[in-house]
Amino acid sequence: MQKNRLEAFSDGVIAIIITIMVLEMKVPDGTDVAALTPRLPVFLSYILSFIYVGIYWNNHHHLLHAAKKVSGGILWANLHLLFWLSLFPFATGWIGEYHIESPSLPTAFYGFILLMAAIAYYILQRAIISLQGRDSLLAAAIGSDWKGKLSPMLYLAAIPLAFVHPWLAIGLYVFVALLWLVPDRRIERVIEKHEG
């Protein structure tokens, strides 16, 4: 099967996820800076989630660029990833709204969503490699994938940490986002080398 519909559908879902996240933010109750203060945690959680969704969109684009075709298994693996990404607006709103009152459970839940999205992305990656073979461009580009292995471990550490020190857990989430914010050019380099 061709991958065009998969790419278009995924791009549309990701655009809707970002739109829902921004629509969940409520307008401040006043026009001065003091009115913004209660909304600041919601805005900061939105920024973090926007970065994460952007990272997934960017990496998903590169992943599918390396894929020549898709299978039914890849379609389901992609839907699995989109399911977890679609929970970002809920997790973002929850962690943003209850940052002071009881931050532990929302912070742990946010980490759980991050963990499940990372696992789903790994499954999608493996499904594509399985279809294309171990000697495919994608398999060569992924290599040891140290960031892909480190991220879930940090999420796993942050989830129980959220019940002890929520801000340290959030710090780990920010660290992983910053780790991935640096462009990962492995797939681009392998494709450029192959096409050049």
Q: What is the pLDDT of residues 149-174, one digit of tens each?
A: 999 999 999 999 999 999 999 999 99
Instruction: Among 44-48, 93-97, 182-186, name the one with the lowest average pLDDT.
Output: 182-186
pLDDT tens, residue by residue, 59-96: 999 888 888 889 999 999 999 999 999 999 999 999 98
Burial status of residue 174 (CB atoms within 10 A of its CB: 0-12, 13-18, 19 or more): middle
Full domain range(s) for residue 105: 4-195
Nearest residue to 59 via CA among 144, 1, 145, 133: 145
- Please give the Cα distance from 61 to 48 (Å, whole number): 20
Number of domains composing the chain: 1
